[in-house]
Amino acid sequence: MLNKFSLKNKVALVTGASYGIGYAIATALHQAGATIVFNDRSKENLEKGLADYKQAGINAHGYSFDITDEDNVAKGIKQIEKDVGIIDILVNNAGVIQRTPMLETSVADFRKVIDIDLTGQFIMAKAVLPSMIKKGHGKIINICSMMSELGRETIVGYAAAKGGLKMLTKNICSEFGHANIQCNGIGPGYIATPQTAPLREKQADGSRHPFDQFIIAKTPAARWGEPDDLAGAAVFLASDASNFVNGHILYVDGGILAYIGKQP
């Protein structure tokens, strides 16, 4: 049974995996046997990521390209296939969030978030699918969000993109399932990363940030998730153990979506 979870001889590309959730997922896939490839549009982040992987004993392959630039992505994928091999596993992790009230959000800023969090995932999937089809198998894992299901004030672009990403996941499943390609999503809960650090900052009096208090109270696990909490889900969805799981969003959220919250 454990052999079904092995990723030996598999090439996994995790976008935006220089740090945070992407780094944790890439590390988990490496521990399961995969060869790790990652990208970052920032050369500075790319170099730092390479150094961190090396320090962790992981021989990762890093490439600099922007997931929203179709031509740039095509060149990057071609180079990866030449240098490392056909991509067996794509984890669409790269993303951005902007916290601004809707009426203060410009159309340009809204489009920027949609472009990175949704259009970029489409571009990446489109780029790797032909080789997956030719090979006869492939795994695409989209990093969705609880905002694929819920709304919240100040993140209109992010919620719209993540809702769209959920449906992109289902549509890729629908269109390419016959080619033995599985496309699923992971929906993280509130994870302690640099992106969410402002929401966890201690107040001047030493108390928790109000949003931090809210999340702890709303989550049955009574804590923020850690990037490593996503490792098991990622390995499962990347492996042959999930070959009949398709079009599914696996929420790793400490139970928050199942919980109405405590009575005041």
Active site (annotated) includes residue 158: yes
The token pair at 41 is: 């549009």
How far apart CA 6 and CA 15 sit, in angstroms, is 21
How far apart CA 157 and CA 26 sit, in angstroms, is 27
**Exposed, middle or buried: residue 4 (CB in 10 Å: 0-12, 13-18, 19+)?**
exposed
Candidate list 23, 53, 158, 190, residue with the active-site label: 158
Q: Which residues have a catalytic role annotated?
A: 158
